[in-house]
Amino acid sequence: MSVHEVSNATTNHPLSGVSMTGADIVVQVLADEHIDTIFGYSGGAILPTYDAVFRYNHQHQKDGQNSPLALIVPANEQGAGFMAAGYARASGEVGVVMVTSGPGATNTVTPVRDCMADSIPIVVICGQVPTNAIGTDAFQEAPVSAIMGAVAKHVLLVTETAELEATVRTAFEIARTGRPGPVVIDIPKDIQNQEAEFVGAGTLALHGYRSRLQAVVSNRLGDEDCQRFYDMLAQSERPLIYAGGGVINANAAEPMRELAHHFGIPVTTTLMALGAADTKEPLSLHMLGMHGTAFANYAVEDCDFLIAVGARFDDRVAGDPPKFAPNAKNIAHFDVDVSEISKVKNASWHHIGLLDRDLADLLTYGKKVKFAKDFGKWHTEIAALKDIHRMNYDRTSDLIQPYAVIEEINLLTGGKALISTGVGQHQMWAAQYFDFREPRLWLTSGSMGTMGFGLPAAIGAQFAHPDRLVIDIDGDGSMRMNIGELETATTYGLPVKVVVFNNYGDGMVRQWQKLFYQGRMSGSDKSLHNKDFVKTAEADGFKFAKRLDCKKDLRKVITEFINYAGPAFLEVVIDPDAGVYPMVGPGLSYAKMITGDHIVGRQKVTDKQPDPNEMF
């Protein structure tokens, strides 16, 4: 059987039958997939395809217009991977990375794993040494299939030029379908140089994958399934929707909102699903989990029917699974991946399918049978939870509080800015204190927790949405990881805004060390590092680069920063003792949540501290 699956013997593609080099085939498929931006760094084994991009742009560029395949060169390949991830997260389209062999490929391992962990669709095109040199420890050779196979959704090594076109098309299909994820294509240099006939259609014969995918697509909610769901809703007095990142990935935020609005069901989201529900709405509880809002976590404690949508009950949310949602008599679970069902918490009812379609079908059935129930008492309880246990901090301190900075930016942007973050305390502060009116406004490394994500992801998002306000909220530790990408932002004239909260150390690590290691700051205190972030930004071309270290200047400087027309950099020297609260220790239930000195908790926590082995 041929590796190609072509629906018709002939295609309508204008280039069908034309002989092309492998490199030209790759570029033409990218064009056919409507890719407009490639992030990557060149090198010997990928040069034929880089040259093909140049020639394609020269041939197809129209007067006064940008290149049809913009080629964005970062400081390093890890930056390219995170830019593609930011592009994909912000746009919902597949991000593309193009790198050379050996270190070029291995530098993308972390972004690939990051995308796999958060179900983000990217395609990584790696150059490889010639086929006859594979396995000989040739110059800049790396075993990409072996390395990436452990961290990617799929890896494809091309050994026949005739299979290249179908392989590239298949990579995009796998990346965007089902549960999205990263796909890596390893293309030897001789395959890029050899010629083959361009078909214009066709994919590899992945019968098992497509069969499983079709089973999900064809699995629609029946009337009996819907009736069982509404029977559980009828028995409930305190229903709660727990939305995960799958809602964003499936573009299912709108039908989920419609379902919640129609029946008056409050919504809380994971870190990855911020924006799935409009955080400014009365029945939105913002984020739950380890550093979720106290009122969201208490609502989970109180609810009697938990409706999980595209969520996986991970350890940041359900640290103590048996005690998670302890009063829920029923748990319903919607997902696209059957492996997530009852993996952590047993579901009373579940459905595997397409989230956007299934939620719409469920609402349609509810309207058809005229289901109605008054959850007014629960709404009153929700309002009280949000009032009593609202987010708060020391507003009288003479030191700049990071929460105040975010509140001021949020006031100016109204919950409509694209927010990217690194990883650490600043990530959690941004998640807690920003509003998100829409999906795909929040870009963060969730499951992997990769420092250095924020700046390149913001750059990728700015390419996806050149006319939108994109802000990277970063920390001094995370910023150091990929600080070279500051120059990428100015090189391409991107109006991205970069905030660095400087507490002279790895704040989240220090918070744990203060709590559980008697204040021994092993490797986390950077106060001896003589880094001048403002001068660094200026050296990389930022015309607006300022340091904010006086509380009385906060509003004025932030307003100037946000309103600046081009790329802008702001270092904010914050209270080094500012902490992230609420906090639920690893392996603990929400009943043991620590709310700190300024957020009202239900009770004092007297439980034992987590063992150091459980941290993070």
Q: How far is CA 432 from the centre of its chain?
A: 16
7 by Cβ neighbours in 10 Å (0-12 / 13-18 / 19+) ranks as exposed
Classified as helix, coil or strand, 572 is: strand
Which residues, other chains included, contact 254 with Cβ-Cβ below 8 Å and sequence gap of 6+?
356
Identify residue 602 by its one-letter amino acid code. R
Q: Residue 470's closest CA among 447, 451, 446, 492?
A: 492
Burial of residue 361 (number of CB atoms within 10 Å: 0-12, 13-18, 19+): buried
Residues assigned a catalytic role: 77, 139-140, 189, 508
Mode of pairing for the β-strands spanning 195-197 and 19-21: antiparallel
Report d(CA 104, CA 45) in Å as an integer: 10
Question: Beta strands of 521-584 (E only): which ranges?
Answer: 544-548, 568-573
Residue 492 CA to chain centroid, in angstroms? 23
Rounded CA-CA distance 330/232 in Å is: 7
Nearest partner of 113 among 153, 86, 79, 77, judged by Cα: 153
Angle between helices 355-368 and 223-235 (to 10 degrees): 70
3-state secondary structure of 533: helix
338: left (phi over 0), alpha (psi -120 to 50) or beta: alpha
Q: Contact at 8 Å (CB) between 392 and 294?
A: no
Please state the three-class secondary structure of 288-344 as a single string: CCCCCCHHHHHHHHHCCEEEEECCCCCCCCCCCHHHCCCCCCEEEEEECCHHHCCCC
Q: Residues 110, 126, 17, 162: what is their CA dihedral angle, to the nearest 10 degrees?
A: -110
DSSP 164-193: HHHHHHHHHHHHHSSS--EEEEEEEHHHHH
Please report, as a single letter, which amino acid is at residue 282: P
